[in-house]
Amino acid sequence: MDWSHFIFYGAAAAICWIAGAVAAYRSEGVRPAAALSLCGSAIFLVFITGLWISLERPPMRTVGETRLWYSFFVSIAGIAVFARWRYRWILLFSSVMSIVFVCINVLKPEIHDKTLMPALQSVWFIPHVSVYMMAYALLGAVTLFAVYLWLRPSHRMPSEREMQMCDSLVRIGWAFLSAGMVMGALWAKEAWGDWWTWDPKETWAAATWLGYLLYLHLRPGLRRDSSLAFALLVFSFLLLQMCWYGINYLPSAQGASVHIY
Amino acid sequence: MAAGGIPAAFLRYPWSLVAAVNYLYLLVLVYAMSDRFRWLRTLWDGKSCITSLASVLVMIIVYGLVRQDGSKDGLAGVLGFTSMSDSWIFNLMLAALMTSLGIRTVAELGRAGQMAGMLRTGRITDFLHNAARTLVHVSVSVLLVSGIFGSGDKVKCRLTARLGEPVGMAADAEGKAVVLPFSVVLEKFTVDGYPPKLFVFDSEEDALSEDFLSVEEEGVKADVAGWFLSADRYLDMAGCMPGDTVYRELEHVGAVPAVYVTAENLSTGERHAGWVSCGSRIFSSSSLALGSGAAVVMPPPEARQFLSRVSVTDKDGNRDVADIRVNHPARYGAWRIYQAGYDVTQGRWSTVSMLECVKDPWYFLVDAALWLMLVSGALMFLSGGVKGTRGKTEDRPDKNMKP
């Protein structure tokens, strides 16, 4: 399995995800839509596993490889939210988001070689990256949901249930974000003797973590003013993107981060 | 006052510990007195929490946007934002957040009895939610307290160990000598490398091809930048004598990997063949010219892992032998010794290993707080992100917070 096979697996997964999203609108039950979407995620996971075996290392080293996990986890987050809260549109949103990242990887393929620098050969590598990608996926999903609630054509005020769903997703996403940061700190201590060095990646990770933490603390006082809560979610997601790939282009981070790849 | 930097090692043992203990005592005292003196609540109420969180967030965004080069130029330099972790403004805001969070943590711990009641009455989700929140507050408080009060106690220094030579001195980041309580002797140094890679180098673009041929064994082939490359012979340890054009197997210091490669142009069928090697201090590198400024080249193979076997002897003559790799430091008393680097110009033949010695007396406290935070994340996930029924009142500490 190598990168040239990706387009086939990506296309098959995309078809299943779209079919799942359509089934969510057409059928009454949760199972047909969830099963189709899970089928897409399973196909995607088969490619990731095959790539893992052929590379002889986890495909988590390059931005392109992290995009694979992001597509996978966004689809899983979409299915979980659909199964839990029965929002039909979430599968369409998560499918589109996953497919966008599949397309980016198809249009901008990266060379994936087997080398893994010594610092990345740690027991923390796989859990750290996968937990972060899960957090990004959940927080991406809640951002989409917030934008929908904020700008939907009906201009209807969000219901208590809708806001609770936002809060729950942020809480779980923030828990994953915290776990990712902690694992990074434990790994950093093993690798070079510091828990935290204010490397640009770490700085923006702290900003992202604080942004969502601020949301969690502000929400009880913003029961009527949902716009500020949504704005904070969108802003925090911008911080998240700066942390994920934005620092690769940020002038202040050039030559100053060991996390630029 | 607000500009400039906080001197390094602002607090050192025993004053760091004395200050931390007294600070914690004050936090408990403020919480206990908050009923009698209502103004004390402004240190840890909802507004204080939001304000300190938002202030630190803004400062961290500035931290990320301003290059941290310690420059004194411009407004950012004058305000100390180019060396943010030492700046007074940033540290005062962190201290405000730590104080607000610290008192809140004391309040959370004061409700342990209520949480036990939730468990007894079977309100598991409420218990999980409250336990997660309390643990997050406790762990972040411990991290901030130990980060701020313990920063001056950490010693980090680097030494260069040469094969067979004892070293008892190291240098810190500012180049100051640090006397170690032990001496280190490098007994053995080994590098485990990845297979060599062959690239097509374009001298007009001054760039290597994106594709490459990884030579794991003889006979491997690949299309690289319009050329079909075939590794006909592969010698892991080889040398080329002066005046010779052929590489031969050689088990000697400075031996290099060498590949006899055939390159065929995919559009014209033009063929070239010859030896390619990355070279070393003993043997010069070789490339295969393909015409038009292109050549097949082999960069030095990347290290998969490198290992230093060291013996550590303390002042009483006690001797320990340890293997140190990246991500696998050796522990010696309160010290940890890390693999930091080696002489890359000598590659696998390096007789030098760069080691970093770190003494961190607050290690176990931070380690415990981080594991606690992982547990709290797991509890938050298990409670399904559902807010506990008591959370509605507990999120407003200024209203009937105390039990």
Q: What is the per-residue pLDDT across B67-86, written as a single tens digit (0 to 9) for each?
A: 999 888 888 998 889 999 98
Beta bridge partners of B223: B228
Lowest mean pLDDT among A89-98, B226-235, B270-279: A89-98
Inform me whether the pLDDT recorded for B389 exceeds 50. Answer: no
Which residues in chain A touch residue B191, judged by CB atoms under 8 angstroms apart?
none
**Domain assignment of residue B399, yes or no:** no
Lowest mean pLDDT among A16-25, A91-100, B334-343: A91-100
Average pLDDT, chain B: 89
B365 within 8 A of B146, measured Cβ to Cβ: yes
**Pick from B283, B301, B319: which residue ends a domain?**
B301
| A125 and A250 together in one domain | yes
**Domain assignment of residue B111, yes or no:** yes
How many helices (H) and strands (E) would you count in chain B?
Answer: 8, 18
| B39 and B89 together in one domain | yes
**Domain assignment of residue B60, yes or no:** yes
Check residue A113 and give its pLDDT.
Answer: 65
Rounded (to 5) percent helix, strand, coil in chain B? 35, 30, 35
H/E element, B184: strand B177-193
Inform me whether the pLDDT recorded for B401 exceeds 90. Answer: no
pLDDT-derived band at A97, boundaries 50, 70, 90: confident
Mutating which of A116, A134, A186, A192 best tests the B interface, going by the most B Cβ atoms within 10 A? A192
Beta bridge partners of B258: B235, B277
Give how many domains chain A has, as a whole number.
2
Inform me whether the pLDDT recorded for B1 exceeds 50. Answer: no
The C-alpha R_g of chain A, in whole angstroms, comes to: 19
The pLDDT tens digits for A24-54 are: 988 888 899 999 999 999 999 999 999 999 8
Those of residues 132-191 in B touching chain A at CB distance below 8 A are 132, 136, 147, 156
| B162 and B130 together in one domain | no
With a pLDDT cut of 70, the percent of chain B lying above it is 93
Check residue A94 and give its pLDDT.
Answer: 85
**Domain assignment of residue B89, yes or no:** yes
Nearest to A218 among B50, B214, B387 (CB): B50
Rounded (to 5) percent helix, strand, coil in chain A? 75, 0, 25
| A123 and A248 together in one domain | yes
Inform me whether the pLDDT recorded for B278 exceeds 50. Answer: yes
Check residue B5 and give its pLDDT.
Answer: 60
Dist. CA B34–CA B40, nearest whole Å: 5
Structure tokens at B334: 């309160």
Mean pLDDT value of segment B166-190: 94
Structure tokens at B105: 């943590």
One-letter amino acid of B14: P
| A253 and A160 together in one domain | yes
**Domain assignment of residue B146, yes or no:** yes
Check residue B398 and give its pLDDT.
Answer: 36
Inform me whether the pLDDT recorded for B56 exceeds 70. Answer: yes
Check residue B283 and give its pLDDT.
Answer: 87
B134 within 8 A of B109, measured Cβ to Cβ: yes
| B134 and B92 together in one domain | yes
Inform me whether the pLDDT recorded for A222 exceeds 70. Answer: yes
| A107 and A136 together in one domain | no
Where is pLDDT greater, at A92 or B143? B143
The pLDDT tens digits for B3-55 are: 456 665 667 888 889 999 999 999 999 999 999 999 999 999 999 999 999 99
Give how many domains chain B has, as a whole number.
3
Check residue B136 and give its pLDDT.
Answer: 95
Per the listing, tokens 């030494």 go with B159
Mean pLDDT value of segment B338-352: 89
Range of the domain at A107: 1-116
**Domain assignment of residue B124, yes or no:** yes
H/E element, B166: strand B166-172
Per the listing, tokens 């240098």 go with B171
Phi/psi for B24 (5° steps) reads: -65, -40
Mean pLDDT value of segment A79-92: 82
Dist. CA A98–CA A76, nearest whole Å: 10
Check residue B264 and give its pLDDT.
Answer: 95
With a pLDDT cut of 70, the percent of chain A lying above it is 97
pLDDT-derived band at B277, boundaries 50, 70, 90: very high
**Domain assignment of residue B258, yes or no:** yes
**Pick from A90, A116, A142: which residue ends a domain?**
A116
The angle subtended at Cα B23 by Cα B19 and Cα B27, nearest 5°, is: 175
A149 within 8 A of A158, measured Cβ to Cβ: yes
Q: Check the CA dihedral A166-A172-A174-A177 and report its sign.
A: negative
Inform me whether the pLDDT recorded for B387 exceeds 70. Answer: no
| A257 and A150 together in one domain | yes
Average pLDDT, chain A: 89
Mean pLDDT value of segment A216-245: 92
Most confident of the ranges A86-100, A111-125, B360-374: B360-374
Which residues in chain B touch residue A228, judged by CB atoms under 8 angstroms apart?
none
A63 within 8 A of A112, measured Cβ to Cβ: no
| B213 and B277 together in one domain | yes
CB contact under 8 A, B147 and A221: no
**Pick from A116, A151, A175: which residue ends a domain?**
A116
H helix intervals, A86-118: 88-107
CB contact under 8 A, A178 and B66: no
| B55 and B102 together in one domain | yes
| A171 and A246 together in one domain | yes
**Pick from B281, B301, B321: which residue ends a domain?**
B301
In chain A, the residue whose alpha carbon lies closest to the alpha carbon of B137 is A213
| A149 and A51 together in one domain | no
| A90 and A129 together in one domain | no
CATH number, domain at B334? 2.60.98.10
| A181 and A111 together in one domain | no
Structure tokens at A156: 């209807």
Min Cα distance A74 → chain B (Å) is 17
| B387 and B287 together in one domain | no
Mean pLDDT value of segment A145-157: 89
Nearest to B50 among A122, A204, A217 (CB): A217
| B96 and B119 together in one domain | yes
The half-sphere exposure of B240 on its side-chain side, counting CA atoms within 13 A, is: 24
Check residue A127 and give its pLDDT.
Answer: 83
Check residue A66 and give its pLDDT.
Answer: 82
**Domain assignment of residue B207, yes or no:** yes
| B129 and B274 together in one domain | no
A78 within 8 A of A93, measured Cβ to Cβ: yes
Structure tokens at A212: 């969502």
| A125 and A233 together in one domain | yes
H/E element, B116: helix B112-120
Dist. CA A246–CA A63, nearest whole Å: 11
| A141 and A53 together in one domain | no
pLDDT-derived band at A241, boundaries 50, 70, 90: very high
Dist. CA B222–CA B235, nearest whole Å: 19
| B65 and B111 together in one domain | yes
A84-102 core/surface letters (b: 16 or more CB in 10 A; e: else): eeebeebbbbbbbbbbebb
Range of the domain at B40: 15-152+363-394
Check residue A224 and give its pLDDT.
Answer: 75
| B201 and B269 together in one domain | yes
Where is pLDDT greater, at A14 or B399? A14
CA-closest candidate to residue A247, choices A121, A238, A232, A192: A238
Mean pLDDT value of segment A216-222: 89
Dist. CA B146–CA A243, nearest whole Å: 25
With a pLDDT cut of 90, the percent of chain A lying above it is 48
The pLDDT tens digits for B155-177 are: 999 999 999 999 999 999 889 99
pLDDT-derived band at B229, boundaries 50, 70, 90: very high
Phi/psi for A211 (5° steps) reads: -60, -50
| A140 and A231 together in one domain | yes
Chain B CB within 8 Å of residue A126 CB? no
Dist. CA B338–CA B159, nearest whole Å: 10
Dist. CA A25–CA A36, nearest whole Å: 13
| B315 and B340 together in one domain | yes
